[in-house]
Amino acid sequence: MKARKIVDEMDSYVPGRSQDEIAQDFNLKKEDIIKLGSNENPWGPSPKAMEAIKEEIKSINRYPESQLKELVHEMAKYAGVKDSQVIVGGDGADEVIDVLAKTFIDEGDEFIVPLPSYMYYEYLLQQYGAKPVYARWDLEKNELDVDSIFEAISDKTKMIFLCSPNNPTGTLIEKEVLADIASKNPEVLIIIDEAYFEYSEVTNKDLINEFGNVFIIRTMSKVLGLAGMRIGYGLACEEIIEYMHRIKPVFSLTRLSFVAALNTFRDTEYIEESIQKGIESRQYLYDEVSKIEGLNPFPSKSNFILIRIKDTGFTASELTFELMKRGIIVRDCTSFKGLDDYWIRISICTLEEDKKFIEILKEVLN
């Protein structure tokens, strides 16, 4: 059976490696492995979310909510927007991006992604016949090359993806820059990915009231500690949200995901503590990595740090392999377009795990 032409030509998306994989490959105990590769919340989910899941298990023989009004209200309250400006996605923010593509992309359209950035945008939109056009991040200045965005725009441009803080660089895009791009291109959908906005303590959500072509993506997989439950959401003007609801799967969120999300948003103490601990861990890692000769970490506003390792004599694949043998998972960034073979990314862990990682990193490099 022959697959569609675009599927036949596509490369598979390369996710971070799991603890189970590393334990099996290197004969290690799963509980001894420290995972700094997938930008998760290392302190676990909200206790209120876990308790709600236990209570809801007895109801999983029933279909989940379809309108999700209670959860939409909590998301809107958390984001500081109207209920009518929120859409919920199962399968994390990935479903939100997929529904955006199904709603607005026609075959032959173009979308712009500055490199390096989160590559799943490209993976999803190409399935619908859209063509990626690349702008760039200036790695020397650690900022978006704004001119490259404007140069990439054509009459075929349908979407521009701008991740802020950007993955993998940790860079913020100034709100004035985002507003300028949106105002000059009213027929283009400006998609701002705020997956990590809590760690930056900066949001662009006010732009959805100012511009009818701004869409903000968010996730519950980072600060909110529900990566395994796969919940994302989007913020935009009512018109965009209404169009998307025509396409969105009716039962994309499970009953367990629903109650987990609902109770996490209501656990403000947990959220505040997760943000505080995450920022502390990020600062500790940045300070300690900066002291190690040969490593060049980027300042970050996210829960991860991009590190240039070329001066160590290791390639990214060599260094990640040596760390994996010792039970440490970091992200080899070779698969990120726009980066060469000498970049790794590390994400926050508990301070105890951070300290162990630094010790093992020094051991490997020495």
Q: What is the pLDDT of residue 199?
A: 98
Q: Residue 2 belongs to what H/E stretch?
A: none
User: pLDDT per residue over 198-242, tens digit each?
Assistant: 999 999 999 999 999 999 999 999 999 999 999 999 999 999 999
**What domains, with CATH codes, occur in the chain?**
5-44+269-365 (3.90.1150.10), 47-266 (3.40.640.10)
Supply the pTM of this predicted model.
0.94
* Cα 329 to Cα 324: distance, rounded to the nearest angstrom: 6
Q: What is the pLDDT of residue 345?
A: 98
What is the secondary structure of 267-310 as a DSSP string?
Answer: -HHHHHHHHHHHHHHHHHHHHHHHTSTT-EEPP-SSSEEEEE-G
User: pLDDT per residue over 288-328, tens digit each?
Assistant: 999 999 999 999 999 999 999 999 999 999 999 999 999 99
Residues near 322 by beta carbon (within 8 Å), at least 6 away in sequence: 314, 364
Tell me: pLDDT of 16 over 70. no
- The helix, strand and coil proportions of the chain, stated in percent and rounded to the nearest 5, come to 45, 15, 35
User: pLDDT per residue over 83-137, tens digit each?
Assistant: 999 999 998 999 999 999 999 999 999 999 999 999 899 989 999 999 999 999 9
Spatial contact of 333 and 365, defined as CB atoms under 8 Å apart = no
